[in-house]
Amino acid sequence: MLDYSMLYPRETVSRRVVSQDGMWKFCLDEQGAGESLNWPEGIPGNEMIPVPASFQDFYTTKEIREYAGDLWYEKDMFVPEEWKEKKILIRFGAATHRAVVFVNGIRIADHEGGFLPFCADVTEVVRYNACNKVVVKVNNELTVTNIPCGQTVTLPTGRKMCKPYFDFFNYAGLQRSVWLTAVPKESIFDIDTDYELDGTDAKVSYTVKTTGEHPVTVELFDAGGHSVARSEGKEGVLSVKGARLWEVRNAYLYRLAIRIMDDGEIVDEYEQEIGIRTVKVSKTEILINGKPVYLRGFGKHEDSDVVGRGFNMGVMKRDFELMKWIGANSFRTSHYPYSEEIYQMADREGFLIIDEVPAVGLFESLMNFMEASTGKKTAFFAKDTTPVLLQAHLRAIEEMITRDKNHPSVIAWSLLNEPETTDEAAVPYFKEVFDRARSLDVQKRPRTFTLVMNSLPGTCKCYQFSDIIALNRYYGWYVSGGYDISNGEVLFRKEMDAWEALNLDKPFLFTEYGADTLASEHKLPSVMWSQEYQDEYLDMTHKVFDSYDFIKGEQIWNFADFQTTEGIMRVNGNKKGVFTRQRQPKDIAYKLKKRWENLPLNYKSDI
């Protein structure tokens, strides 16, 4: 079990939160000698860098952009005297891919995994009414024993270079917000919620974990601030009369207030917005509140100019406005859990999220997008290092589900992206991963993974684990592209007919499909990379989607152009975006808008 709380930092009558976002001292450690040089007590130089942000795109040299190794951050944090009786924590939204935290020269916390929060308990080492020196050593190297997977090599120059087994840039650093927080010694540690609908009423089941034994009260408030239900005890059920449901693109949020009490006094208080809704897969239907839903939307990335993968509130707002404009109702957090603020926005806007753990690159290929349909086999899950990777993977699943389980927007867990599944060695690995996700989620949301093009009905050994079959397919692009697109349609239909023949009685979802397109490129007749070809590609692909009733969603790759490792197959990044990296529409955005606005929410359903 996690030894730190994943609750989002919130100020209440008992809790204090101070943002540490801003300019931090920064330096690279090419020799990996920082600890031996006493950098935990303070790093050299006067270089400053923004937090949150990726470090790579601020500078003008390739040596920094491509840097692999240790990088150090430093900031003074003031801890007031009035916090003396509380537990003091520094919460990092993410440190990619691993971090060591020092406070006043003392090593306090270690964490591996670059896309989920962790807390450093600094209660015993901070000086009160004084500044405390916080130093963080971050390492961005890729390995096969941590997700996302890749390798780190040493070039003849002596410099290290990351070689990802995935098709997005290895942005790194303190990419999300950092908070200095104070909570009572006896505090609320974790919350689980589940929902049951009964006509116009609802039952909200809850479990609260605390660090002590004082009694707990739980109260539910509607959007107007009126109390609608109350209960006592760490476990219970709140009965809500005339419940307002959280619906797709029509969100309604209640406020759940949890208090630890001692003779009428509040020991600790925490509040969280929740949405009353149910999620279920029944045969080929994805049901929200018992009603069928056809997903339309995107694979996305946290990726933007200058700050890279760093959380950017302005970009988040623009992205949601564009998704609303185009008629989307969902997205997948490809290929890692996103910043928590994005889930909070999705909760408010009524978007559905397929939440993905950073298990990408579990197929040994530096160009997996080209080799995905070649039948290549690498026996990835038969490696001697697989048991170590599995433990890192399971830990990331626990952190993701613990963090995100109470968001109404989260309707499914994606546990791997494009893994190698053609070898029997994958089967026990998958079983552990899927079983762990089921055991951690009280709501028992559907679990899935996205199938690479090598994973076909006759070759994939693992599709049986998925509650939703999620396909990443590029017929007409990586397979039979250009003038051969008519053959691409034939091959596409042949595969879908083979899936249909299996009678899986599960919903199918296309989690990736798309064609690289330069916003500046027009040509008639079309050629690949032109806007005209992207239009023709989507016509063919959507025609196939519309031909099979068990296909219950389409999430195009990608929402916006994004940065990748440089190479001859990438023109300054992946250009499959419906929008440019600067969040402006390509021509195809208007075609998608027309299609999605005219697709009923229950498209292809008899219910």
Which residues are catalytic, by number? 418, 512
Q: What is the DSSP letter of 461?
A: S
Task: Give the number of other Cβ atoms within 10 Å of residue 597's Cβ.
Answer: 12
Helix H or strand E encompassing 487: helix 485-501
Q: Which two tokens stand for residue 393?
A: 């993977």
Q: What is the DSSP letter of 319?
A: H
Q: What is the DSSP letter of 247?
A: B
Helix (H, G, I), strand (E, B) or coil at 462: coil
Helix axes 340-349, 313-326, angle to 10 degrees: 30
- Please name which of 315, 223, 230, 212 lies closest in space to residue 267, comparing C-alpha atoms: 212
Task: Give the number of other Cβ atoms within 10 Å of residue 24's Cβ.
Answer: 24
The residues, any chain, with a CB within 8 Å of residue 309's CB and separated by 6 or more, are 54, 96, 171, 172, 175, 301, 302, 303
Task: Decide: 537 and 492 in contact? Cβ < 8 Å.
Answer: no
- What is the distance between the alpha carbons of residues 561 and 549, in angstroms, rounded to a whole number? 31
Residue 130 corresponds to which amino acid?
A
Task: Give the number of other Cβ atoms within 10 Å of residue 59's Cβ.
Answer: 13
Helix H or strand E encompassing 18: strand 16-19
Task: Decide: 530 and 518 in contact? Cβ < 8 Å.
Answer: yes
Q: Which residues pair with 28 in a beta bridge?
A: 71
- Please name which of 337, 335, 276, 283 lies closest in space to residue 552, comparing C-alpha atoms: 283
- Burial label, 223 (beta-carbon count in 10 A; 0-12, 13-18, 19+): exposed
Length of the chain: 607
Residue 509 corresponds to which amino acid?
L
Residue with token string 């500078």 = 59
The residues, any chain, with a CB within 8 Å of residue 428's CB and separated by 6 or more, are none
- What is the distance between the alpha carbons of residues 591 and 158, in angstroms, rounded to a whole number? 50
- Please name which of 482, 264, 461, 281 lies closest in space to residue 377, comparing C-alpha atoms: 461
- What is the distance between the alpha carbons of residues 84 and 382, in angstroms, rounded to a whole number? 51
Residue 199 corresponds to which amino acid?
G
